[in-house]
Structure 1
Amino acid sequence: MCCRLSNSLVGLLNLLSFLLSIPILVTGVWLHKQAETECERWLEKPLIVLGVFLLVVSLAGLLGACCRLSCLLWLYLFVMFILIIVVSAFTVFAFVVTNKGAGEVVSNRGYREYRLGDYSNWLQNRVTNPHTWNRIKSCLQSAKLCDKFETQFANDSAQQFYAENLSALQSGCCKPSNDCNFAYQGPSVWNKTDGVNHSNPDCNAWDNDSNVLCFNCESCKAGFLQNLKTDWKKVTIVNVIFLVFLIIVYSVGCCAFRNNMRGNWKY
């Protein structure tokens, strides 16, 4: 009775994942045909791969459990085992590379400043790669990150602005570093002091042009990494829950596989 129930449960779970794979695959194909921005085009391939993977694995598990095809169920369990290893490895990796780095508290400021050197070397190497950063920068610009920032704080005086609790991306990309001591004219408009040599290279990289601002600054890359770190921490928690779910499904699948083998006269 228990083993028969395991076949039904594996079949039900794979039917649900099969149905889930269809909208994922359709979305990936739609982005491939309709994508206009670099960010949308970047998402299309992962979605198509994920959709096809779920489709194939779900069919193998569904047919293997419901039609008692032991070879397909064995293939399904093998893929599930590999997936458990991959998810476990990624979870540990994500925890390690996001363990370093945090915003620096600045006196009399409501926001934090972000330094690229505070983050793991692996993450630093990713964002300092010109090709990678140009794609990231293109996404930030197309999302109008600093245009929204300018509108949000347009009516702030200097003291009001300094008290604002800015996000990591806003602090790193849309305003100059606090080290520069530029004169505040607006959220994204700052007057440079002539004849001053700044030790922070971001001060020379800053420009009031809305297409430039601090998108080429190390602080912008650090702000992006801080944002990425926060997202990866959330993903790590989800991965742990997903990993527990995978192990449970794998265990039930093993029971279903054993049930198939018992029903086979050759066994």
Structure 2
Amino acid sequence: MTSGNSSDTSVKHLSHSPIQQLGIKIVVRYGRFLGLLKDDSDQELSVLLMRCERFMKQQQTTISSSLCCQQGGYVGHDWFASTAFLIMSGDGERTIKFLQQFSSLLTSAFLWLPRLHSSIHLSVESAESGIHPVYSCTAYYIEMLLKSEVPLVFSAFRMSGFTPSQICQHWLAQCFWNYLNWTEIGHYIAICIILGPDYQVYMCIALLKHLQQEILHHMQTQDLQVFLKEEAIHGFHVSSYLEFMGNLEHSYRTTILTEMKNIKS
């Protein structure tokens, strides 16, 4: 991923989709609310996202697929790059340098969803299917661990007619925006980078464990899916669940991390 004014100039003629434009407005508004961004951050973020998109396209493979989501670039807003932009207080160059280094880590495959869209780093079958490793790998182990570690919550989902992985995929695709407060979003990214990508799975299990009483209540009132998709997660602190997640790591890391490393096969 190149940096410098020349690359800024070369992407300014490109345009964002309506979804991306809306995403930029949300990010800048939130960044101003947090006191992290200045009033003129819209253009800086716009250029950053264009440069990220161009970087992704350089690593996309040519695939034959009739799926609409596989025609062109990643469909949706890049919430991870936007989160990095806020962490860097709106400094586009610092964000680019971070993303460039971050992209070499296995963790980037799971935290930065657009990173592996139709990517050369996936098997041909995976790239053509449009099934991201967060769905095929992370979601699978969320189901497996939840059934074993928090069985009441697992049963509540079954009785409600949908899966916990559906909700977790929704959370992860948005990098927990609209669900966790800013501090905990930062902690989520930090533990996955420092402790390993398998902590993405443990984080979701910890969140569902934290929400157990609410989940059981909303199962009975038959509005569980609405509750989990529309309500923020209150009172959750990563620090309070580090021991719990560490125990999950001790029990499951070998299996999960091996699977994550094999996403190309």
TM-score by length of 2: 0.22
Identify which of structures 1 and 2 has the higher relative contact order when contacts are C-alpha pairs closer than 8 Å and 6+ apart.
1
Name whichever structure is richer in strand by fraction: 1
TM-score by length of 1: 0.22
